[in-house]
Amino acid sequence: MAYEELIREFDLILWTAANFLTLFNSIFTLRLVRNERLDKSQRHANLTWGLYFLFMLFGNILNIVWRLYLVETAGMDIAKLVEKISLIMISVGWLVIIGYFDRKMLILKKPYFFYIMCISTLLTIIVGFHQGTILEIIYFITTSIGFSVFPILFLMISRRSEGILKKNARRIFIAAVLFGVGLLVQTQNVEPFLPQIIALFESTLHLPYLIVSPIMIIISMITFWLGIWNLYLYNIEIE
């Protein structure tokens, strides 16, 4: 097997593992919606988590499809279109989870995090379907802003909380950071702007740079599960 094919297979295996854990988190949280031990508000929270993980899952599946298959079979234009759709699905997932927790907690008295995410998602959709270097940079910036809102929200939740809630809100913050960074450091995002990072990584560690993103996603999904599971285990609600 050629080296390129081996790397391709390894990349697919890692992303499959990441998507399996994302699916597991979605099923886990959606099952809690039917748990009668939880009150109505807690079931709504788990429904929101379940939808969030589903959007992440579908977005990442589309990401695999366009990178590994559509570029060769359908051409770059179709592949780029599917790439934009995958990122929009992920942005909508962020919008769902931020909309729920920001409007529920009102850390800043008004749901400003939700407003920022709405603007970021709208710009991602508008800019994402146009071509050009400047627009690509704007697209990357708006996507980065959108991905940063969720971790910041849970960082603030952890800072105003105590005990088990504080500990697990911090876990969710770490998971959100790992997930967002994991998506942003994918090869197709880094290579056009900072190819030196990819070359430095591969020359220093003698490993393909492609492994960075799925490994970060895998760790983030495990960390998400730990945070949500412990909140459920102790029957604690984020409020």
Q: pLDDT digit of tens for each residue in the chain (239 aa)?
A: 566 778 888 889 999 999 999 999 999 999 988 887 878 888 888 999 999 999 999 999 999 998 888 888 888 888 888 888 888 898 889 899 999 988 887 677 788 888 888 888 887 777 766 665 676 677 677 777 777 888 998 998 888 888 888 888 999 999 999 998 998 898 888 887 788 999 999 999 888 999 999 999 999 999 999 998 887 765 555 55
pTM recorded for the entire structure: 0.87
The closest of 55, 52, 51, 84 to 70, measured between CA atoms, is 84
Secondary structure tally for the chain: helices H, strands E:
10, 0
- Return d(Cα 164, Cα 99) in angstroms, integer: 23
Burial of 60 (C-beta count, 10 Å sphere; 0-12/13-18/19+): buried
What distance lies between CA 124 and its chain's CA centroid?
Answer: 15
